[in-house]
Chains A and B, each alone.
Chain A
Amino acid sequence: MGTFVQLVVDGLSTGSVYAAIALAIVLVNQATGLINFAQGGMAVLAAYVAWALTNRGVPLVLAILLSIVFSFVLGAVVERYLMRRFERGDPDTAVVVTIGLLTLITGVAGWLWTYNNQSFPSLFPLDTVSFLGVSVSIRSIGTTLVIVVVMALLQALFVGTKLGLALRAVAINPQSASYSGLPVGRLLMVGWGLAAALGAVAGALVAPQLTLTPGMLDNALVYALAAVILGGLTSPVGVVVAAWIIGVLENLAAVYVPFIGYDLKVAVPFILIFVVLIVRPQGLFGRKTVVRV
């Protein structure tokens, strides 16, 4: 029993790592209608910036804040000068452009900071809290709390603010958005900027655990995508919940389903997706989108 509960708690903290990137993917999708494969890469770049600043004596919190600002600008610039050209064309091309961006960013990071693992200081101590025989690190709790806060902010942004509504309007239909007087271009830049800023938060949260390398988030990206689809593209809450479900079920399946084991546990999120989408095509928490003929 103790092991079971511990596995659930472990799964939740792993799930929080996936959730961090998944939220950034959702934000960019909601703001621009694209899936951005470079989201993880941009987060890694931000983490490197924060790391480089701390190496020059900048306090960690300030360094992370600066990296968030840097990312916002980077995201906006990438949208304006790179993605803008592809946003209204073939979506496959736009996705491949983000793949190219990921390759480029990874290469730049490897060139500037080598492919060695760099240790990234953590915002939260690694001390352990134990209750009822279950141990969890303060770092995991801190990471999870930050993600919950970010999730709540995003949910509020999309549901309750003019900016959020405008961002979504632009994503769903840029043409009619511009007819109704919305500054489409600027909104797209803001959307990318916000998503990149969020990615910077994610990068700073997970870098202490994964250690900083140019490909730090490559493996987590697939899980993040799975969480995005499972939770529903339109719902930050759904995505975070889905990431946790994936983290927990993956652990439990590895331990308690002999056929799956630790090698095939990676199949769990995909089996989940398949089952859920057959029943609810819009994902666990997503809204149905209207398809026009």
Chain B
Amino acid sequence: MNTHLRSRRALGLAVASALALALPACAEGGGGGSRSSGEASPGITDDSVTLGITTPLSGTTAGPGTCTVAGVKAYFGKKNADGGIEFGDGKTRKVEIEALDDTYDPQKAKANYDQLKNDVFAMTAGLGTPTNRAWREAAIADEVPQALIMTGDPLFSDTDESPMQLGFVPIYQNEGEAFGKLLAGSSQDHKVAILSQNDDFGEGYVEGFKSAVEDADNIEIVKELTYEATDTSVDAQITELSSTGADVIFNAMSVTPLTIAALQKAQQLNWKPSWFLPSNTSSPGAILQPGGATAYPGVYSVSFAKAPASPAFAQDEDVVEYLAALKQYGDYPEPPAFPHCQWSWMVGATLEQVFMKMEEPTRASFMEALRSVKDFEAPLMLPDTSVNTTEDGQPAVSTVVVQKYNGKGYDTVESFQ
């Protein structure tokens, strides 16, 4: 892609003026001046920087999608109110967020990227694998940062393949592996039934889990089934899995109502295994309680963020500050049911670290700073987890702790009981 300035005169033509009505803000900007060091990149001035987000804000994934915007908006909303952030170049800037809805459609995500690329300094926080992949190559060609996005797709954490990208959340394999290790370390024999979403999310979890239990003699995978994210019911899968008599179900599911229904259905069939649930569908209030999770010997999940709904963190300083800011600056009045809100807040905190290290107002300097955050304990982070962007092949957060449901919230566990 061309990075030099263009002097096009959009004048005269009736076509142009007719289009101008429908095409807002199509100013050329500088076209990414990252090659000429020192000269400011688009989207950054001496007192402000603009970040772009494309994420689903309507449609079936709008719940978590809205969260990905709310957290980062709340974080910088609060920072701006406190006067802004002091960047590595000594200037204090306010951070503006420009978020667009892509309805989880790759084509719209690409369109949103095209619209934002010359106006924003960097893209961040957007949710979804296909929607982020749709403009990954364009972002590389245009040298626009695609930083700290919400997908566990490992491609975004591969520095060679994705020089302008970095994922934020652990890759799906990491999460599955963490639980696999815990189970492999159990003193008993276990029969495991697997139910996974038929896409890279489910496959990644299962892959990580299997790699961890591969050499464990005490683990037998007795049955493996899938479901579609668009299904209205997983009753048949649970019925089929229950007939195996497995004592552990590894449920790589990212759909809230289906997770609740799965928990309920197994109880109806009087099948009481231990459950593993992914980090994004293990909310105590929104999923485990309606699912009646206390009926099971154990419900395990992995996490790196404090669950604001958990009574253990009700008085936690981070949580109190976060919930207040979310309400005031994030347009998010209710306590969030999706962990994406917390993650997005952490993205904000991580970006602040990056800005503080960024010595020039350029995208190149930003990318350099982005890859130099080490052992940063972002607010809301659980003990033993941290943000670490220096490790090649890993997203910003790659450590997770395994937790067990205690009827109200989660406790971190070291072994499978």
Contacts and interface: CB of A to CB of B under 8 A. Distances in A.
Interface of A: 2-3, 6-7, 10-11, 13-14, 17, 106-107, 110, 114-117, 119, 126, 128, 130, 135-137, 209-211, 213-215, 218-220, 223, 250-251, 254-255, 261-263, 266
Contacts of B240: 3, 7, 255
Given A17-B233, A110-B58, A219-B231, A211 B256 contact: yes
B90 interface: no
A11 B236 contact: yes
A262 B223 CA distance: 13
B66 A135 contact: no
Contact of B239 (A6, A106, A130, A218): A6
Nearest to B227: A262
A215 B59 contact: yes
Contacts of A220: 232
Nearest to A6: B239
Main secondary structure of the interface of A (DSSP, over half): helix
Given A117-B63, A137-B268, A14 B235 contact: yes
A107 B58 contact: yes
5 contacts: A115-B58, A117-B63, A262-B198, A263-B198, A263-B226
Given A14-B233, A17-B233, A110-B62, A117 B337 contact: yes
Contacts, number: 98
A112 B61 CA distance: 17
A3 B334 CA distance: 42
Contacts of A110: 58, 62
Contacts of A126: 264, 268, 292
Interface string B227-265: 110111101110110010000000000001100110010
Contact of B269 (A11, A14, A135): A135
B320 interface: no
Contacts of B65: 115
Given A10-B236, A219-B231, A251-B236, A116 B269 contact: no
Contacts of A7: 236, 239-240
Nearest to A129: B268
B256 A10 contact: no
Contacts of A261: 226
